[in-house]
Structure 1
Amino acid sequence: MINPKRTYSSFISDVRIAFILFMVFAVSHAQQAEQIPEVMVMARVQKDRVLLRWGTTTPVSWLRANKYGYVIERYTITRNGVLVDPPESKSLTGTTLLPLPLENWEQEVEQNDNAAIMAQALYGESFEVEEMQGGLAQIISKSKEIEQRFSFALFAADLDFKVAKMGALGFEDTDISPNEEYLYKIIPKIPGEILKVKSGIVSVKIKEPEPLPKPIDVIAVPDDKSILITWEYAMFKPIYNAYHVERSEDGNTFARLGDTPLVNLNDKPGSPARRMFYVDTLPQNNKRYYYRIVGISPFGEEGTPSDVVSAEGAKKLTSVPHISRYEFNNSGGVVLNWEFKKESESEISGFQLNWAAQEKGPYRTVQSNIPASSRTTTFTNPEPSNYFRIVALGKNNQKATSLTSFVQAIDSIPPKMPIGLTGVVDSLGVVNIKWEANTEKDLLGYRVFRGNLDAEELSQITVAPISKNTFVDTVQVKSLNDKVFYQIVAVDKRFNMSDYSEKLSIKKPDVVPPSSPVFKSYNQKEEGVLLQWINSSSQDVFQHKLYRQKVNEAKKGWQVIFQTDTITSYLDTDVGSNIKYRYAIFAEDESGLLSAPSTPVTITSKKDVKEEQLIKGFSVVADRTNKNVMISWRKMPEEVTEITVYKSKKEGKPVLFKQMPNTMNRIVDNAVSPGNTYVYSLKVITKQGNHSKVETKEVVF
């Protein structure tokens, strides 16, 4: 620890800093040498002022800034919630802000260790760290002197805002107004040709200052003549960078433990610390001590103390129980015996028995309140595998736990046979099987067996028992066997095996389509087109499908017109006259696979009626008074099933206008406009599917 009673001159000339406990607020920044250094700045609003704290990110940039100084500019960006455009600018430093000269530090150094550290970092002839045991001290001893100066300077500035201002790392802006928002810019005046350093920027709203929070989740853990104090660190890391631990013997009057604040040396880049820890050594056990935590902000402010916690030091137990033997009684329970020193019984309130199904736990308490004089107990419901621990409960909340003892029950009863076995196989040969899960507590898993023939003995395909009651397998679908067979065996932890499950038979997917049928002949009949074919020769054919399409409407695709299982001929009566048709026939098997199509046949159906005699009295009349066109014709004979009217403007492309049954003989077109010539075409279709000759009329509207 730095001795404030030393003379200033001797202190400044050669201080060997021994307080290695407090390191590095910013040593991690020194590792950013490959990046352009910058000024990192933070701000805090107090009642009548704004506090600014900053620091550069590298030792070299800090050293240069100490020589050339900083300039602080302030910009007012809003006032009473209204944007100030353009922002009002103001220089807060007037001249360049530099660390105070050496002679201005003497009085403060005599009273303030943080000032002594900052002065030595700025002006000391040498800056060394005493050789100490431990990895941290060795690393610091080997680091460069400028890095040591840089790190300790930032640390001292963090703990004392007055020292920060003296070292040109802090500033107070007292010329502020309520309900304004400022942007502060810290500009290092280092010439660019020497070193480029980015300026630091922070924005601040002037409002009522927020109180610093109190540390939370403070816990006191008692031990023999010591108490471990731990509290939440990560949540308040942006607010506090150091802490004081305070202790009281009556819960009212607190005194700080040590003159130096605590910093978290476990907080490292890539592995941030979640909590802070402090061990307080006690003069005696069995006396209650009270503790609270006080945080320190980077502006040197002390926050609200935490809630008070308390604890008593407790003497460690001098004896540990040891499980010496076990045996099974006639009821199947486990009788446990252990050893524990008789003279240590006065230190404990009793024992408890902990149990787990596996060595790594978790352990649960299965018996408590076992008397301190007892050395045996019985566990009545053992599992196939049991792990036991005996815990001695000290009167001061101390615990002493025995080593784990493994007890295995005798088991010759196999699990029940698995039931409910089901499964499916997809087209890629992936088999998914499942079954009802066994309920035995000592179940280890299941073995899966597979075969290709019903009569053969199945082979095991699992290397070790599987824990789930499902299994995924892969089989060859293109093979001579159309089925695959499975059985399941349950295995317990003593490797007792159940009976084989009932055999599951799964049909493999059919991936080979049937052979194609072949057209034998076709004939034109008055009723239509007669087609004959030879069915597919494949054994698993389910049905044959006959398809048809109009050659001039091939884009519309094929249409199924007939399906059969054994019939080998079909009379297609739903054909029109003089229309070219194409026919193809497919075979479909039980798996839904279609064969390749037969060689298609193309047929032009014959004309069997004189359609031109069907349309009579076709006329088109323009009614300019009612602004429509009347289209009419004589009543159609019964053989006509549908009447179709097409419409277009002259020289235009006809489009379908109306489709009607044979009972109608007139329609009215209201969608006409003066000055146009309209063309109307009439066509009918008979029951045999024949189309009449198209009759066309024009009308000038």
Structure 2
Amino acid sequence: MKKYSLVMFMVFAFTSFKVVAQNNQVSDNDFRAQIVGKGKAYADKIALRWNVDNYQIFEKLVKEGVLIDRLTIDANNKAEGSWKRIVSDTIKAKPLAAFGNKNSTNDTAKMVVAQMLYGKSNYPQNTNLLEKIKVQQEEKQNKHLITSLYSAISAEAAMLAGLGFEDKFMPDTGKKYVYRVYNPGKSKMVGKLDTGYIYVIGRDLKVTEKFLGLKTEQSESIVSLKWPKETSPFSGYYIERSTDKKNFKRVNKNIYLPLIDTAASSKFLYYADSVANYTKYYYRLKGVNAFGEIKLFNDTVMGMGVDQTPPQVVQLSFDRKVDEVTFNWIPNKQKDFKGYFLVKGNGIANADSVLNNIIFPTNQSTYKINLKSDFSSAYYRLLLTDTVGNVSYSNAVFIFNADTVPPQAPVGLTGKIDSLGNIKLTWQTDPKEPALRGYKVFIANQIDHEFTAA
């Protein structure tokens, strides 16, 4: 069974969720999570993001918060001093008031995160204890998923949720920085948060990021965009389209979040755009990373919807005068129709040869041929093709010359009989008789007796 997941968006591709066993006694070891994170260097700061790999400990993370220490590693890979606390207080979810009034903001990510963190739970009534526990666990998992998702596409939402921090200083491109993210330790909530470490390299400031591999696939009224999953470190995407390769507009108003099929081996992410057939469209792709940045892929690609419906068939007929045959049909008037080929075959569905080297135009409705002197029989059909190569066939018509001349009598008939009474007959065949289908042997006890079929 396939399972679709948004885990990569929720925990920034650091890890996947754990499944934690439950029993009658609850301890910190029963509910344990690893803090996972990533960082990015800028000219004036290092941005940090983190999360947990177990939804059951997520509430503890955002409510109790974390402390952050930094260790600087010099160009010789030696520590400069010891760990330095870079926050004055725990980093945790901001109060509801900090998110703003829902009627005064258009920031969807902030409002969704606020609802997940502070929205009132509404559990079904008149259910047994086990059902209530199941519903509560599903709610916890959904809150973790949705909060992580929207924090991964909005820097402000991440800060408000207590899942992000900006270390304000000027990073040195010759140094490395290690961050230690950990729970304060004065635990009031069940569960244990294991310390997470984030490693940031200063020289990454010199790297010019390039994102390549955007391609298109064409089908009926659909252009499918695909790009490599492994080299796309993004939480979501904006797709832009243009008809002139200059003026681009967003196809999706809201950020696009590809479904990840964890049971499939596909190496690509996909987006399907509904379009008119035979109109060229140019596409650009912009990814939104965990730090709220929008990055443009280097590729601009073209695609268009193409008709995959074969041409409407026509009815083929013919008139024959001795060896002159005239084929007739009513022209196909479809807009994307390209023309005809007349094909000949020994069988009703065969196309052993094409009689016209140049395609018949769309308005042609007749064609004449002269049968060769040795013509016996053949099937004829029209092959119809459109501008993108879809094909169909007309009905088949059968033309033959009635054969009223019997084959020549076989010659060289000889017979042998062995001691057991077995008789073996041999004769010469006629290679010049293509219509010959076989022989029937007749037998009589004497030459002047009546012969009967053997």
The TM-score bracket by the shorter chain reads 0.5 to 0.7
- Residue 106 of structure 1 is matched in structure 2 by 100
1:45 aligns with 2:41: yes
Distance change in 2, residues 1:216/1:142 (3 Å):
farther
The counterpart of 2:117, out of the listed 106, 109, 122, is: 122
- Residue 289 of structure 2 is matched in structure 1 by 297
Q: CA deviation at 1:192?
A: 9.1
Q: What pairs with 1:133-148 in structure 2 (closer than 5 Å)? A: 144-148=138-142
Verify the 8 A CA contact 2:35 2:195 in the aligned structure 1.
yes
The counterpart of 1:276, out of the listed 269, 274, 285, is: 269
Q: CA deviation at 1:189?
A: 3.4
- Residue 349 of structure 1 is matched in structure 2 by 338
- Residue 185 of structure 1 is matched in structure 2 by 180
C-alpha RMSD of the superposition: 4.2
Distance change in 2, residues 1:323/1:192 (3 Å):
farther
Distance change in 2, residues 1:175/1:319 (3 Å):
same
Q: How many residues in Structure 1 have an aligned counterpart in Structure 2?
A: 332
Q: Write the deviation string for residues 563-619 of structure 1: whole angstroms up to 9, x where unpaired.
A: xxxxxxxxxxxxxxxxxxxxxxxxxxxxxxxxxxxxxxxxxxxxxxxxxxxxxxxxx
Distance change in 2, residues 1:170/1:163 (3 Å):
same
Verify the 8 A CA contact 1:219 1:229 in the aligned structure 2.
yes
- Residue 426 of structure 2 is matched in structure 1 by none
Question: Secondary structure of 1:303's match?
Answer: strand
Q: Write the deviation string for residues 181-225 of structure 1: whole angstroms up to 9, x where unpaired.
A: 1111111336398212221112112122533323423215253xx
Question: Secondary structure of 1:119's match?
Answer: helix
- Residue 158 of structure 1 is matched in structure 2 by 152
- Residue 541 of structure 1 is matched in structure 2 by none
Name the % identity.
19
Mapped partners of 1:340, 1:69: distance in 2? 80
The counterpart of 1:90, out of the listed 84, 90, 104, is: 84
**Highest relative contact order (Cα 8 Å, sep 6+), 1 or 2?**
2
Amino acid at match of 2:48: L
Mapped partners of 1:146, 1:339: distance in 2? 73
Q: CA deviation at 1:94?
A: 1.7
The counterpart of 1:288, out of the listed 276, 280, 284, is: 280
1:251 aligns with 2:240: no
Distance change in 2, residues 1:218/1:369 (3 Å):
farther
- Residue 26 of structure 2 is matched in structure 1 by none
Greater strand share, structure number: 1
Q: What pairs with 1:5-24 in structure 2 (closer than 5 Å)? A: none
Verify the 8 A CA contact 2:33 2:54 in the aligned structure 1.
yes
- Residue 211 of structure 1 is matched in structure 2 by 208
Mapped partners of 1:245, 1:269: distance in 2? 23
Q: Write the deviation string for residues 217-274 of structure 1: whole angstroms up to 9, x where unpaired.
A: 3215253xx332312232324x223111101232211111122121221x23343532
Distance change in 2, residues 1:218/1:195 (3 Å):
same
Q: CA deviation at 1:308?
A: 2.1
Q: CA deviation at 1:286?
A: 4.3
Mapped partners of 2:119, 2:254: distance in 1? 22
- Residue 66 of structure 1 is matched in structure 2 by 62
- Residue 195 of structure 1 is matched in structure 2 by 191
Distance change in 2, residues 1:215/1:161 (3 Å):
farther
Normalising by structure 2, we get a TM-score of 0.62
Give unpaired runs (5+ residues) of structure 1.
Answer: 1-20, 129-140, 325-337, 355-364, 377-388, 406-701
Q: What pairs with 1:205-244 in structure 2 (closer than 5 Å)? A: 205-207=201-203, 208-221=205-218, 223=220, 226-237=221-232, 239-244=233-238
Larger Rg: 1
Question: Secondary structure of 2:192's match?
Answer: coil
Q: CA deviation at 1:306?
A: 3.6
Q: What pairs with 1:544-623 in structure 2 (closer than 5 Å)? A: none
Q: What pairs with 1:461-476 in structure 2 (closer than 5 Å)? A: none
Normalising by structure 1, we get a TM-score of 0.42
Q: CA deviation at 1:33?
A: 2.3
Amino acid at match of 1:97: I
Q: CA deviation at 1:121?
A: 0.8
Distance change in 2, residues 1:368/1:321 (3 Å):
farther
Mapped partners of 2:329, 2:91: distance in 1? 72
Question: Secondary structure of 2:253's match?
Answer: coil
Mapped partners of 1:102, 1:121: distance in 2? 11
Mapped partners of 1:96, 1:142: distance in 2? 27
Verify the 8 A CA contact 2:227 2:268 in the aligned structure 1.
yes
Q: CA deviation at 1:301?
A: 1.1
Q: CA deviation at 1:74?
A: 0.9
Distance change in 2, residues 1:296/1:26 (3 Å):
closer
Distance change in 2, residues 1:273/1:44 (3 Å):
farther
Verify the 8 A CA contact 1:22 1:262 in the aligned structure 2.
no
Distance change in 2, residues 1:352/1:301 (3 Å):
farther
Amino acid at match of 1:273: S
Q: Write the deviation string for residues 615-646 of structure 1: whole angstroms up to 9, x where unpaired.
A: xxxxxxxxxxxxxxxxxxxxxxxxxxxxxxxx
Give unpaired runs (5+ residues) of structure 2.
Answer: 22-30, 124-134, 317-326, 344-353, 368-380, 397-454
Mapped partners of 1:148, 1:205: distance in 2? 34
Verify the 8 A CA contact 1:186 1:200 in the aligned structure 2.
yes
